[in-house]
Structure 1
Amino acid sequence: MSDRPLSAARRAARSGDAHESQFRLLGERRFAPFFWTQFLGAMNDNVFKIGFTSLVTYQTARFSGVDAKTAAFLISAIFILPFVLLSATSGQIADKYDKAMLTRFVKTFEIGVMLIGGAGFWLHSAPLLYLCTFLMGVHSTVFGPVKYSYLPQHLAKAELVGGNGMVEMGTFVAILVGTIIGGEAAGFVEHGAVVLACACVGIALVGRVVSMWVPSTPAPQPGLQINWNPVSETWRNLKIARENRTVFLSLLGISWLWFVGATFLSSFFSFAKNVLSANPDVVTVLLGTFSIGIGLGSLLCERLSKRRIEIGLVPLGSIGMSVFGIDLFFASHAQPTAGHLLSVGEFIVMPANWRVLADLFLLAMFGGFYSVPLYALIQSRSQPSHRARIIAANNILNSLFMIVSSLMAMALTAAGVSIPGLFLVTALLNIVVATYIYSLVPEFLLRFVAWVLVHTFYRIRLVHAERIPEEGAAVLVCNHVSYVDAIVIMAESPRPIRFVMDHHIFKTPFAGWVFRHAKAIPIAPSHEDPEMLTRAYETCARALAEGDLVCIFPEGKLTKTGELNPFRHGVTEIIRRTPAPVVPMALRGLWGSVFSRAAEVRWPRPVQKGVMSRLTLAVGEPLDPAQVTPEGLQQIVTELRGARK
């Protein structure tokens, strides 16, 4: 059975002919009913949790045995406990059964859970509300693998970043709407509990109706025998996830984001009351600012990544999260004391609070840059038959990290650490964790370096970039105009490339570091080091045998005039050992830039190109290796480049 039968719209998206906004997905049945179903579920989660948290924080006397200082962290821990216990089973269920059927089952279950929660609000019963919190965690645990494994079955690869961005944006807009409803409902001193009960049950009913339009999504592995032992299956899921190192470390990266997010979101009520001296309505402003930030960051990912899975955005996201998390610590300490709890109007007019809101907004926006590419990477690189179980492994890790987050927050709070201090600790830990992950998988950092350099200095136009194969071995051949040719190609490739580079470049500190971690292949002329030349050809052969992309600049040196130097026979030596398709490419517009050798030309002086100059990467049709000659390749690359150097 095909993992994702293609509709006309999806064929267009895959071929690169469709450039519509990601919002067009909201008009298509393959996406819209699912989007609104998960939107309503996320909103209901937050109506309930925010309403419950607000009541026990500001009306503690009505709930016996509840500690207002730790209640928010306890609610968070109870909600995510089912992810630890049941995620492994949920992943198997999502791989075995139709996801549309599972979606409707989950929404029916949600109605029953919210009836229990409604009774808890009505009776001011903390035990019933804690039970409802746990059961809503069960609801989200079962739906999690369905949610993220549904998208790759209905979206083309070119739509994954946009689709994930829409889901992330929708989730946090739902959090915002749920926060407003939950906070406002809890604010009714006499009837708040009743309003919350009615809202939760009503939203669950609407979600069940919408789920009826979710299209059939066949099970990728209907014959799967479910292992009901959560311990052994959890371990098995983690082993499946670890089979792909990049995927597993991406799971850890997402889990760390949930650690950071849970710390901040769970702290907002105490932060507003005890640090900002603000009333519950200001909590809504804080959560709203955070939600809008991560929603905007999620949506911007598609534009910044040019509809590709651009993992270079992940380090950018982690840097921004730490910078603005640290600044939030200092901004919070600058708050003046007040003799009463500030209303929204009083809070907004104080200039110091704008810095707090800006820090929260930007921290969340960079969180969107961080999360969307990771989700898309996991979905695209996971085996379809195991995708839901890998998502389940992600949920297991997420829940463990969030529980540790809650325990850390409670321990630090009990030790006398303030909420701003908690933010600072989290931001500093983010630096340590990010550095560790990027040292294990340099691909993230390399793509970030390439993305920043290319998008800082140039505006790039791609011509037939889809001809660079997304899987399988191939030899890429390109003209050599500047010192950053490899970085430009690296930034625009859909996957990692093994570059064949002159051995002298590895002696320079920065370039040597970049290309060593990119697994570039050093090469030397036969008259300089014949053994290195032989090793280079052998390494290229192994790389192609393993299905990698290998890129060579057959001129062997940078052009001094802007014109192509004669192509050498290195490419034919490579494909003679391991035949693979040869993809000719040409760079236009780099001659005359600061990275070219144009500065050495005395007459006639070339036009010097500055920051944000235009360049083009044109890709030709793949060639049969049996038909490739250096002369023929040079002619094709020359035609691809055209008159513009």
Structure 2
Amino acid sequence: MIQNVSHLLRTRRFVPLFVTQFLGAFNDNLFRTAMVMLVIYGIYKSEAQEAAFSALAGGLFILPFFLLSALSGQLADAIDKTRIIRAVKTAEIGIMVFGAAGLLLLNVPLMLVALTAMGVHSTFFGPIKYAILPQHLENDEVLGGTGLVEAGTYIAILGGTILGGLLVVQDPDGRYHAEYAAAAVLLVAVAGRVAGHFVPPAPPSTEDSGTENDPDLPRPGLDWHILRASIRLVKATMHVPRLFVAIMAISFFWAMGAVLAAQFPPLVKNVFGGDQSVATLFLAIFSVGVATGSLIINRLLNGQVSARFAPVSALLMGLCVLALYLFSRTWTPFPELAGIKTFLAEPSGWPVVASLFGVATFGGMFVVPLYAYLTTTVPKSETARTVAANNIVNSGAMVGATVILFCLVQLGVSVQETLLLVAAGTVVSAFLGRKLHQACVAAGCP
């Protein structure tokens, strides 16, 4: 894949978008990681409170995707995508002013408001990062470009996660501070706005639309009624069988991912007895794994858009989640919170890391081709709306998963037991992946 599309990293039609997306993902995770570490290790002292907070934070970030994706998809198809990029990156600077204030003041509600606003920011940027690729790239570059974006995104998540964990520091009195994290999120937001300025124009595509549109004006029929637009958009997309299966497969995958991501910090602290550096390691390993899976699947598929590896990828992911559960059951917590060196010195330390890496790698191999499938099997004039419909269903599944997780925690279900639910869910993902491959083959795909 690198040999085929590495030239994209030297072209203006790809690099500014790649950098803008990279910095956005970096800042999302820098802020979220700093916030979670500050709250779980520095503010809350209850296992139930910590697990509930993680679930709530994950749900609040995803909720805007569910509510606003229909509008974001319509706008991305109706006006120049580059104009939207510049608007949302300008908004990010204002949002991070509130986020930085929350970190400085140790104000949990203010941090959650900023997190929700970042969810709104990402909702309007989300359809563009995929829909703009078929517009700026050749057909045989789209899968590779998608893989580069995904790999870059998860490398950004890795960097943001590590930096977010490192910039929350503990003073000699045992209190946690995040002044450096507050400064960093503001600086990255400004850098993202600068990068967004260089993205080439991407006016509405008229392919298969039958009309010529003024790129500065919304298309006729733009629906500002959020609920009605969401229902209409999902119905218009999901009636196509192959898109229905693809979106359901992606949604179920991210529902499981939401549960895993929400439980990592409480799992590390309360089950493995690790400090914030170990929690950062877990999140970093997960990011590296998904990026690795993105690159591996592009190499295996050799530029083809296909779901043939999806079923086995999902099942292997489930086996790795099950291994992580078994290691957590036999783990003896440290008498006090331990750092990375102490954690990895345990006989099961490296096997735990390997299991987590496997979960993420096979997850990346499962989901990346599905996104490429969504953007290459519909007309270019409809790609943003298709991705937006996918985001609505994805976010609904993720919000539902976090609500269920929140309720299970309140009912006394342990963090470890939720891993079993994820492992069982991968069987459903494998089934959906097989159905998608069958639909793809029937439609003439590889």
TM-score by length of 1: 0.64
Residue 310 of structure 1, CA deviation: 2.1
Query: In the alignment, which residue of structure 2 is the partner of 1:209?
Result: 194
For 1:438 and 1:319, how far apart are their aligned partners in 2?
A: 10
- Determine which of 430, 435, 438 is the counterpart of 1:443: 438
Larger RCO, structures 1/2 (Cα 8 Å, 6+ apart): 2
Residue 23 of structure 1, CA deviation: 2.6
Secondary structure at 1:341 match in 2: coil
Secondary structure at 1:30 match in 2: coil
What CA deviation, in whole Å up to 9, does each residue of 1:112-161 have, x standing for no partner?
00011111122222221111111101000000111110111112222222
> Within 5 Å, which residues of 2 pair with 1:251-290?
251-290=247-286
What CA deviation, in whole Å up to 9, does each residue of 1:225-282 have, x standing for no partner?
3210011110111122124211121011111111111111111110100111000000
For 1:52 and 1:26, how far apart are their aligned partners in 2?
A: 32
Residue 289 of structure 1, CA deviation: 1.0
- Determine which of 339, 346, 352 is the counterpart of 1:343: 339
Residue 293 of structure 1, CA deviation: 0.8
For 1:21 and 1:123, how far apart are their aligned partners in 2?
A: 49
- Determine which of 20, 25, 41 is the counterpart of 2:3: 20
Query: In the alignment, which residue of structure 2 is the partner of 1:77?
Result: 59
> Within 5 Å, which residues of 2 pair with 1:591-606?
none
Residue 103 of structure 2 is aligned to residue 132 of structure 1: no
Query: In the alignment, which residue of structure 1 is the partner of 2:28?
Result: 45
For 2:166 and 2:271, how far apart are their aligned partners in 1?
A: 21
> Within 5 Å, which residues of 2 pair with 1:149-168?
149-168=131-150
Given the superposition, is the C-alpha separation of residues 19 and 254 from structure 1 closer, same or farther in structure 2, using an over 3 Å criterion? closer
Residue 438 of structure 1, CA deviation: 5.1
Query: In the alignment, which residue of structure 1 is the partner of 2:216?
Result: none
What CA deviation, in whole Å up to 9, does each residue of 1:468-500 have, x standing for no partner?
xxx9xxxxxxxxxxxxxxxxxxxxxx626xxxx
For 1:416 and 1:95, how far apart are their aligned partners in 2?
A: 46
Residue 163 of structure 1, CA deviation: 1.1
- Determine which of 403, 410, 415 is the counterpart of 1:407: 403
- Determine which of 286, 291, 297 is the counterpart of 2:293: 297
For 1:50 and 1:86, how far apart are their aligned partners in 2?
A: 24
Larger radius of gyration: 1
Could you tell me which amino acid in structure 1 is paired with residue 346 of structure 2? M
> Within 5 Å, which residues of 2 pair with 1:356-395?
356-395=352-391
For 2:181 and 2:433, how far apart are their aligned partners in 1?
A: 44
For 1:96 and 1:394, how far apart are their aligned partners in 2?
A: 18
**Contact 1:335/1:353 (8 A) holds in 2:** no
Could you tell me which amino acid in structure 1 is paired with residue 192 of structure 2? G
Given the superposition, is the C-alpha separation of residues 399 and 19 from structure 1 closer, same or farther in structure 2, using an over 3 Å criterion? closer
TM-score by length of 2: 0.92
Query: In the alignment, which residue of structure 2 is the partner of 1:192?
Result: 177
Residue 392 of structure 2 is aligned to residue 430 of structure 1: no
Residue 302 of structure 1, CA deviation: 1.8
- Determine which of 320, 323, 327 is the counterpart of 2:323: 327
Secondary structure at 1:67 match in 2: helix
For 1:25 and 1:419, how far apart are their aligned partners in 2?
A: 42
**Contact 2:50/2:266 (8 A) holds in 1:** no
Identity of aligned residues (%): 37
Given the superposition, is the C-alpha separation of residues 154 and 191 from structure 1 closer, same or farther in structure 2, using an over 3 Å criterion? same
Q: Which moved more, 1:167-176 or 1:105-114?
A: 167-176
Secondary structure at 2:178 match in 1: helix
Residue 68 of structure 1, CA deviation: 2.5
- Determine which of 27, 33, 57 is the counterpart of 2:16: 33
What CA deviation, in whole Å up to 9, does each residue of 1:162-197 have, x standing for no partner?
111111111111111111111111124467322121
For 1:495 and 1:217, how far apart are their aligned partners in 2?
A: 28
Residue 444 of structure 1, CA deviation: 6.3
Query: In the alignment, which residue of structure 1 is the partner of 2:228?
Result: 232
Given the superposition, is the C-alpha separation of residues 188 and 225 from structure 1 closer, same or farther in structure 2, using an over 3 Å criterion? farther
Question: Which structure has greater helix proportion?
Answer: 2
Residue 48 of structure 1, CA deviation: 0.9
Residue 441 of structure 1, CA deviation: 4.4
Secondary structure at 1:351 match in 2: coil
**Contact 1:296/1:365 (8 A) holds in 2:** yes
Unmatched 5+ stretches in structure 1: 1-17, 448-470, 472-493, 497-645
Could you tell me which amino acid in structure 2 is paired with residue 443 of structure 1? Q
Secondary structure at 2:413 match in 1: coil
Could you tell me which amino acid in structure 2 is paired with residue 396 of structure 1? I
**Contact 2:308/2:437 (8 A) holds in 1:** no
Query: In the alignment, which residue of structure 2 is the partner of 1:495?
Result: 445
What CA deviation, in whole Å up to 9, does each residue of 1:355-395 have, x standing for no partner?
11111111111111111110111111112222111111111
Could you tell me which amino acid in structure 1 is paired with residue 314 of structure 2? S
Question: Which structure has greater strand proportion?
Answer: 1
Residue 61 of structure 1, CA deviation: 5.6
Residue 433 of structure 1, CA deviation: 4.5
Count residues with an aligned counterpart. Answer: 431
**Contact 1:40/1:207 (8 A) holds in 2:** yes
**Contact 2:242/2:439 (8 A) holds in 1:** no
- Determine which of 101, 105, 110 is the counterpart of 1:119: 101
Query: In the alignment, which residue of structure 2 is the partner of 1:501?
Result: none
For 2:437 and 2:24, how far apart are their aligned partners in 1?
A: 37
Secondary structure at 2:167 match in 1: helix
Secondary structure at 1:43 match in 2: helix
Query: In the alignment, which residue of structure 1 is the partner of 2:210?
Result: none
Unmatched 5+ stretches in structure 2: 207-212, 214-218
**Contact 1:311/1:444 (8 A) holds in 2:** no
Could you tell me which amino acid in structure 2 is paired with residue 420 of structure 1? Q
What CA deviation, in whole Å up to 9, does each residue of 1:193-233 have, x standing for no partner?
22121111110001111111111111126434321001111
For 1:373 and 1:281, how far apart are their aligned partners in 2?
A: 33
Given the superposition, is the C-alpha separation of residues 62 and 19 from structure 1 closer, same or farther in structure 2, using an over 3 Å criterion? closer
Could you tell me which amino acid in structure 2 is paired with residue 144 of structure 1? G
For 1:200 and 1:303, how far apart are their aligned partners in 2?
A: 34
For 2:429 and 2:305, how far apart are their aligned partners in 1?
A: 22
**Contact 2:127/2:387 (8 A) holds in 1:** yes
**Contact 1:50/1:182 (8 A) holds in 2:** yes
Residue 285 of structure 1, CA deviation: 1.0
Given the superposition, is the C-alpha separation of residues 68 and 337 from structure 1 closer, same or farther in structure 2, using an over 3 Å criterion? closer
Could you tell me which amino acid in structure 2 is paired with residue 212 of structure 1? H
